[in-house]
Amino acid sequence: MNTDFSQFGRTPCSHPQARAWVEQTAALTSPDRIFWCDGSEAEKEALYAEAVRTGVLIQLNQEKLPGCYYHRSNPNDVARVEQCTYICSEAEVDAGPTNNWAEPKAMRAKLLDLATGSMKGRTMYVVPYLMGPHGSPLAKVGVEITDSIYVVLNMRIMARMGQIAWDHLGDCPEFNRGLHCLLDLNPERRFICHFPENNEIISVGSGYGGNALLGKKCLALRIASALGRKEGWMAEHMLIMGVESPSGDKSFVAAAFPSQCGKTNFAMLVPPAEFKGWKVWTVGDDIAWMKPGPDGRLWAINPEAGFFGVAPGTNAKTNPNAMKTIQRDTIYTNVALKPDGTVWWEGHDDPAPAECLDWQGRPWTPESKEKAAHANSRFTAPMANNPMLAPEANDPAGVPIDAIIFGGRRPNTVPLVFQAFNWSHGVFLGATMGSETTAAAAGAVGQVRRDPMAMLPFCGYNMGRYFRHWLDMRKAIKYPPRIFNVNWFRKDTDGKFLWPGFGQNMRVLQWVVGRCRGRAGAHETPLGWVPRYDDFNTEGLDGLTPETFEKLQAMNADEWRREILQQDELFMRLYQFLPKELIFQRELLVARL
């Protein structure tokens, strides 16, 4: 195959506005060369060859992991950085109390100054991409200009990249403009900035995940959430899954869990053996765009085309479908590299290797004190590799959502599962969600903070208005999804998880789907509807005694008093913008307790 890099990327797009913007950006950043990505297979081979030649990627063992590559980030650049992330709306109030705000003119000037001449001696890649199935009325086109070949190769997996985006755009002048410059990866010069009023993103100084793959968190959540509010739809940090029962009916569930709180695992769930005839299909594992359909239901698409999943803890028992998905055509970032050119991480099926290189390239043995893989190490894999990919994942119409689940990482207080009384109570559950912080973002890990709808780091506008938008959506949806709350992470007094999680989450899912279809019983508590022991499928799960179930579902009044005070902290910050319904919901909860 021809992998002569100079032969590729030579054809500029014919879209006049995109071309003018690229030329203008090149005049500013002064690259040696402009590379126009077309998304073809031949181009892909040339890009991988170039990435290997320049040391950005290491080719893995092609017999064991065909099409797989390995990347190490700069050690100071391994997670999202919320303190460097800005919403640059004209008015500060539009960013709201939970976002960093910067005045757009001044911030743009500062960023363009940093970008000036920054691509000298480098290649500037133009990455056209489509978020969503081709032909979907919800799909959106973005163009990312980047000087990182790692970003290009990841975007090529995570989005529908290349000619397909230009085809979708046609002669529409409107597309998302994303400029990404690595600079010198100095955290002092790291800014991830969103200009929702201009449909524009400028990100400098980071090459990692959500900071640099601009289609993902920047466009598909921050920009899209602001757009959705204006246009009457929702952009959410949610997985989407299809649940097929033995009788063949298929329900669709969307679930919002904060970063590193189980979306990918839940989306790829394999039911335990006792669940004969049940199948779970993946539509998406991180982001959902949802809009009311003409039939009065809420329809959702997954705007992405790949999985940027957490590696540690992934194995054939916890997530067999992920393990199958990442055997080929996958980029591994910040995991450990074994001498045979394969990879390893904490929680892998294979035992710890006698020797390997850790995520920073240092020799590692099982005696080493530090972990071999970074806690936020990731795989980037095409969704087409998933053996349980739902056929609907490529359907331009999307899927109708029957249930929405909110969940966080809570060692105490929050039961395994309960159901909201109605939509506005469900919005209250989402709005008051708390979760322990994780390694997906730089900073302390394991501290409970409020993370409404798992969108705290991703809502591109004022969070109070976001709650209003959620409440208002009810009027546009004749048959609203039922809303639930889950917590896989409750611990006993010894600090051990009370619930086995992973595939066993099917038991919760069966109850959720059963509730939506009028098949499952429940009883009313101050928190919401909960399953009784007999409403819950415990067959084959040794140890799920009525006593354990009681512990999982327990509601402790002292814990809940503290919980409500913590919820109040966020409500106070947002007070000026907080919809009255949520204040009423809080009062009702206090009264019920």
Residues carrying an active site annotation = 261
Q: What residue is closest to ligand SPV based on CB?
A: 210
Query: Least CB distance from residue 497 to ligand GTP, whole Å?
Result: 5
Selection from ligand GTP, Mn ion, ligand SPV, none that 265 binds (CB < 5 to 8 A by kind) is: ligand GTP
Print the binding letters for residues 438-457 with ligand SPV: x by CB under 6 A, - otherwise.
--x-----------------
Nearer Cβ to ligand SPV, position 15 or 180? Answer: 180
Print the binding letters for residues 250-289 with ligand SPV: x by CB under 6 A, - otherwise.
---------x--------------------------x---
**Using rule CB under 6 A, residue 409 touches ligand SPV:** no
User: Residues 168 to 207: which contact ligand SPV by CB under 6 A?
Assistant: none
Dihedral (Cα; 516, 519, 523, 528), 10-degree rounding? -10
Choosing from 195, 233, 308, 359, the residue that interacts with ligand SPV (CB under 6 A) is: 308
Query: Least CB distance from residue 429 to ligand GTP, whole Å?
Result: 18
Angstrom distance (rounded) from CA 569 to CA 10: 55
Q: Collect contacts of 387-390 with beta carbons under 8 A, ≥24 apart.
A: 387/321, 387/324, 387/325, 388/268, 388/270, 388/279, 388/280, 388/281, 388/282, 388/321, 389/281, 389/282, 390/241, 390/242, 390/281, 390/282, 390/283
Whole-number Cα distances in Å, 259 to 143, 263, 407:
25, 8, 11
Angstrom distance (rounded) from CA 144 to CA 489: 37
Q: What is the DSSP letter of 130?
A: E
**Using rule CB under 6 A, residue 380 touches ligand SPV:** no
The interface region with Mn ion, picked from 81-89, 122-130, 178-186, 255-263 by CB under 5 A, is 255-263
**How many CB atoms neighbour CB 323 within 10 A?**
17
Angstrom distance (rounded) from CA 483 to CA 329: 36
Angstrom distance (rounded) from CA 47 to CA 7: 11
Angstrom distance (rounded) from CA 363 to CA 489: 34
User: What crossing angle do the helices spanning 557-574 and 580-592 adopt, rounded to 10°?
Assistant: 170
Selection from ligand GTP, Mn ion, ligand SPV, none that 210 binds (CB < 5 to 8 A by kind) is: ligand SPV
Please list the alpha-helical segments (H only) found in 241-307.
Answer: 263-267
Nearer Cβ to Mn ion, position 169 or 453? Answer: 453
The interface region with ligand SPV, picked from 133-141, 210-218, 414-422, 539-547 by CB under 6 A, is 210-218
The letter for the amino acid at 151 is: V
Nearer Cβ to ligand GTP, position 168 or 507? Answer: 507
Selection from ligand GTP, Mn ion, ligand SPV, none that 312 binds (CB < 5 to 8 A by kind) is: ligand GTP
Query: Least CB distance from residue 71 to ligand SPV, whole Å?
Result: 14
Angstrom distance (rounded) from CA 257 to CA 501: 14
**Using rule CB under 5 A, residue 286 touches Mn ion:** yes
Angstrom distance (rounded) from CA 197 to CA 90: 8
CA 81, distance to chain mean position in Å, is: 15
User: Residues 320 to 349: which contact Mn ion by CB under 5 A?
Assistant: none
* Interface ranges with ligand GTP (CB under 6 A): 257, 259-265, 285-286, 309-310, 312-313, 318, 440, 488-489, 497, 501-502, 505
Give the residue from 426, 409, 65 showing the smallest Cα distance to 266.
Answer: 409
Nearer Cβ to ligand GTP, position 29 or 377? Answer: 377
Nearer Cβ to Mn ion, position 286 or 436? Answer: 286
Choosing from 132, 196, 209, 272, the residue that interacts with ligand SPV (CB under 6 A) is: 209
Angstrom distance (rounded) from CA 89 to CA 148: 27
The interface region with ligand SPV, picked from 178-186, 208-216, 504-512, 555-563 by CB under 6 A, is 208-216
Nearer Cβ to ligand SPV, position 155 or 527? Answer: 155
Please list the alpha-helical segments (H only) found in 306-436.
Answer: 320-325, 423-431
Q: Are 174 and 152 in contact (CB under 8 A)?
A: no
User: What crossing angle do the helices spanning 224-231 and 463-476 adopt, rounded to 10°?
Assistant: 40
**Using rule CB under 6 A, residue 217 touches ligand SPV:** yes
Selection from Mn ion, ligand SPV, ligand GTP, none that 502 binds (CB < 5 to 8 A by kind) is: ligand GTP
Nearer Cβ to ligand GTP, position 47 or 310? Answer: 310
**Using rule CB under 6 A, residue 216 touches ligand SPV:** yes
- Interface ranges with ligand SPV (CB under 6 A): 80, 209-210, 216-217, 259, 286, 308, 440
Contact set with Mn ion (CB under 5 A)? 259, 286
